[in-house]
Amino acid sequence: MANVEVGFHIDGDVWEPEQITRVEECGYDILTTGEHIVFFRPILDVVTVLAHAAAVTKRIKLLPSTLILPLRHPTIVAKELTSLDQLSKGRLIASIGIGGDYPREFHACGIPIKQRGRRANEALEIIRQYWTGETFSYDGKIFQLEDVDMSPMPVQKNGPPIWVCGRSDAAMKRAVKHGDGWQPYMYTAEQFRESVARISELASETGRVLPAEFAYTSFMYVSMHDDIQEARNRAIEQLTYRFNLPFEKIVDKYCAYGPAGKIIDELGQYVAAGANRLIVGLVMPEAERVDYLEKFATDILPALQQMTTNS
């Protein structure tokens, strides 16, 4: 049995140092930020934002949610993640995904979108090799390396934990083969329960015994307001902008909204389904960020962190 860890998502926007520090002071376990390289709205580079966060925090874990692995060469990724782990003194968790929802950014980066799964699989093998500290060569279908090594090493032995993000069966297989955790996005609690069982099945098939600390992580948007309809309306407005989608059609599936008790119950369903980490993206006005993150920390966060899971 372990207590649930809760992350706070800042979504690639510009946050002032004192705002990021306040996330840590309020008791959240993880700080996360998103990534797109070419996108329909402003969004910052995930590595840069986490380096900024590392400089103004001391305790909180740092998580890219999620780094789009195929868009970068694995040697560069290994160096960037190592540097973040060094700068944060071992607080980095590396969440990676293959992307594909926005094909134009693959074109902008000169990466064939149909290669993204293979590129990610080879990249994960290469990154793990760099983190052994040994000289190695690699002969893949995408990447070829000869007599390479890297220093310094990450602070964390064998490198930061790697969480694989994705909803597909391929993502779950990637998490079992290469990862220390799995993180879906836009997922219901029932889907989460089914996928936890699927990951256990895949691990048995491959002969891997998943460690007790293997992360089953749920990301959920949250809109706080005592008036349920008002909370729902605010979620629709902000998330429609963030995703460029008519969110009124899916808000009930992918956002917890309303008063604190209702939100705690809905997020608790993911814990009951097997989640041992929860990442929360708050729907909030930019000018009231600190008020909202403090309100969540007072009214909801303690209840979530007191939940336990067998995962």
pLDDT at 71: 98
Share of the chain above pLDDT 90, in %: 97
Residue 27 C-beta-side C-alpha neighbours within 13 Å: 14
Rg (CA), the chain: 19
Q: pLDDT, tens digit, for every residue of 222-275?
A: 999 999 999 999 999 999 999 999 999 999 999 999 999 999 999 999 999 999
- Helix (H/G/I), strand (E/B), else coil: 69: helix
Question: Residue 289's pLDDT band (boundaries 50, 70, 90)?
Answer: very high
Find, among 132, 178, 123, the residue nearest to 151 by Cα: 132
* Residue ranges of E strands in the chain: 2-3, 5-9, 30-33, 61-64, 67-68, 94-97, 136-139, 144-148, 162-165, 181-183, 215-224, 255-258, 277-282, 308-309
Mean residue pLDDT of the chain comes to 97
Give the whole-angstrom CA distance, residue 108 versus residue 130. Answer: 27
- Which pLDDT score is estimated for 309? 86
- pLDDT band at residue 11 under the 50/70/90 scheme: confident
Q: How many CB atoms lie within 10 A of CB 185?
A: 19
Cβ distance 71 to 106 under 8 Å? Answer: yes
Residue 228 has a pLDDT of 98
Q: What is the DSSP string of 116-184?
A: HHHHHHHHHHHHHHHTTTS-EEEE-SS-EEEEE--SSPPSSTTSS-EEEE-SSHHHHHHHHHH-SEEE-
> Is residue 18 pLDDT above 70, yes or no?
yes
Q: Which CATH superfamily is domain 2-309 in?
A: Luciferase-like domain (3.20.20.30)
pLDDT at 310: 72
pLDDT at 198 over 70: yes
Q: Tens digits of per-residue pLDDT, 66-113? A: 999 999 999 999 999 999 999 999 999 999 999 999 999 999 999 999
**Tens digits of residue pLDDT in 36-79:** 999 999 999 999 999 999 999 999 999 999 999 999 999 999 99
311 has a pLDDT exceeding 70: no
